[in-house]
Amino acid sequence: MRYSTYQSIYKPVNSEAVKSNIGQFRTFMTRLKFSKGLIKLAIASLIIFIGCSTVLTVFAGNENDLLPGGKIAVSQGETLWSISLEHKPTSMDTRVYIEAIKKVNQLESATIQTGQVLILPQFVK
């Protein structure tokens, strides 16, 4: 058995080369001259921006501006999700439109039956 220990299989690491690489990295980072505060500010701004854009997308369309619209008969295999995707305004979140359909039709659950007539909501612009 030629190789009997873990260390005998691998070449030893040159610790001087590792120290040299770490030193070069530190030199590179100091040349960039980014302060930690600036990086934290950029990250916080990005998080706030993404959070606000998500909230605005989810709540696009106010249920208080809800008006009854056209009617649709539910076909076999249709769900509130599929109906919502077909009839919702383009900028509105599908989940918001489903809740509007439920509110206009006074539905307590998302269960619908084939042949059921649903009133489609319209929103005031």
Is the pLDDT at 19 greater than 70? The verdict is no
100, 63 contact by CB (below 8 A): yes
Nearby residues of 122 by Cβ (< 8 Å), 6 or more positions away: 66, 67, 68, 69
Distance CA 121, CA 106 (A): 12
50 compared with 10, residue with greater pLDDT: 50
pTM (whole model) above 0.85? no
Residue-wise pLDDT for 80-111, tens only, equals 999 999 888 888 888 988 998 898 888 888 88
Distance CA 67, CA 54 (A): 25
> What are the φ and ψ backbone dihedral angles of 73, each rounded to 5 degrees?
-95, 130
103 compared with 63, residue with greater pLDDT: 103
Q: What is the pLDDT of residue 76?
A: 92
